Structure 1
């Protein structure tokens, strides 16, 4: 899995922030203060995200409302998993990654590992 392109990421960000099914028009309105985009451009990217499985849609009159199929955190976890899969030595990549963590991030990782171990027992 590759990460989202620039416009895909901006659209997903708006959808994650909204947290509710959203029309393409609403996404476009959210993006307009920062970008001059055509409706059809946003529609095409949203449709591509739907076809890739990142969005679900529901009918809303003549339009559709879209909502992410995964949380922002799940997306990040998938990227991390893919990065480990691509690393020559995943264990060494983890050691180097942990070496760059802040104290708060390391504490969060410890808690996540403890929770994982409790769930696996």
Structure 2
């Protein structure tokens, strides 16, 4: 898995923010860019084929919904980065070393919540 391209990321962002299924026309309107309908249709179809979107019929069109949350997408990217680093422990150490105090606090809270949830 690789990160989204620029237009893929913009489309996914609009769908995550929207929080409800959208047609290609609605996505195009939300993007606030000068793009051809067919360009957005092609990228949305590619995201569907890659498994990032699901679709349901809506008249002659389809309504699209993300198959993963923004957080799940971020977690997949981090997991891939660790796997491809060659040395996951070293990559994690460097990543943590670059965190702000607030980010480190967030990480500690997430680890504590995870550990609490797995010890039931």
Report the alpha carbon displacement of residue 104 of structure 1 after superposing the two structures with TM. 1.0
1:98 is aligned to 96
Aligned mates of 2:118, 2:10 — CA distance in 1: 36
For normalisation by structure 2, the TM-score amounts to: 0.96
Q: How much has 1:90 moved relative to structure 2?
A: 0.5
Q: Which whole-Å deviations, capped at 9, do the CAs of 1:29-66 have from their partners, x for residues lacking one?
A: 112x3x22110110010001001100011111111000
TM-score, normalisation: structure 1: 0.95
- The answer as to 2:15 corresponding to 1:15 is yes
What's 1:2 paired with?
2
Partner secondary structure for residue 59 of structure 1: strand
3-state SS, counterpart of residue 77 of structure 2: helix
Deviation at 1:120, TM superposition (A): 2.3
Superposed CA deviations along residues 97-121 of structure 1, whole A, max 9, x for unmatched, are 0011111110110111111212222
Structure-2 residue corresponding to 1:77 = 75
Stretches (4+) displaced over 6 A: none
The count of aligned residue pairs is: 119
Q: Secondary structure at the match of 2:107?
A: helix
User: CA–CA distance in 1 between the matches of 2:13 and 2:59?
Assistant: 25
The 5 Å alignment of 1:60-71 reads 60-71=58-69
